[in-house]
Amino acid sequence: MHETLLVAIRHFIALAPAEEDLIRQWFVPETLPKGGYFLRPGEVSRKVGFVLQGVFHYFQGGDGQELTYYFGREQEFIGDYASFLSAQPATHGIQALEEARVLAISADNLQRLYREVREGERLGRLIAEALFVDVLRQLTSFYEDAPAQRYARFVGTYPDLQQRIPQYYIASYVGVKPQSLSRIRGRAAS
């Protein structure tokens, strides 16, 4: 179970065997049902997760106006770093769109990882940088690209998700109504 996480971490930094043992201790397995929350809006984020199985959507809003702006899936880290680092309530939520298995590390243990793993702080910085670039690309695309371009970017970034999640989440991510997404998909297929 932890081997997938260790492979992902080794993509960023080298690990000694003793450091791998610490990581196995600090990352705790969690299972979330479809619709379960890794983080609810208004809660303070107290953990970061690594997705072993499942898809999550990051969303904002309420009152039937939920807006999906990011997806987390297998072999990716999930969390609300702004809430986590500032200890302020999250402005968005992170919800499982299918049954999910995650390895989660608490805020206290993440601080230990930064101190006790030789390149722990570098790992945190590199993961945060990668997430920042992804979110910035999505935000920029939302303001600069037409819906058809945003849909094409979605398909390129998440080719496996079209068959795994309801279309209204994809429509929300692209920034259109579900009916408009159907038209965009039809044009893209021709």
Candidates 30, 52, 29, 48; CA nearest to 39 is 48
Is 143 a member of any domain? no
User: Is residue 96 situated within a structural domain?
Assistant: yes
Give the residue among 27, 22, 19 at the shortest CA–CA distance from 2.
27
Higher-confidence residue of 35 and 188: namely: 35
pLDDT tens, position by position, 21-70: 999 999 999 999 999 999 999 999 999 999 999 999 999 976 567 888 88
Q: Is residue 161, in this structure, part of any structural domain at all? A: no
| Residue 38: inside a domain | yes
Which pLDDT tens digit goes with each residue over 82-114?
Answer: 898 899 999 999 999 999 999 999 999 999 999
Domain of 43?
2-107
- Tokens at residue 175, please? 């920034």
- How far lies 109's CA from each of 35, 60, 81, 105, 113, in Å? 27, 28, 15, 6, 6
Residue 34 falls inside a structural domain: yes
- The DSSP letter of residue 89 is B
Confirm if 78 and 56 have CB atoms less than 8 A apart.
yes
Task: Give pLDDT, residue 66.
Answer: 83
To 10 degrees, what angle do helices 167-174 and 178-189 make? 90
Strands 47-53 and 100-106: antiparallel
What pLDDT is attached to residue 189?
Answer: 67
* Residue 25 placed within a domain: yes
Q: Is residue 69 part of a domain?
A: yes
Beta strands 28-32 and 77-78, pairing class: unpaired
Domain assignment present for residue 42? The answer is yes
As for how many domains the chain has, the answer is 1
CATH number at 70 reads 2.60.120.10
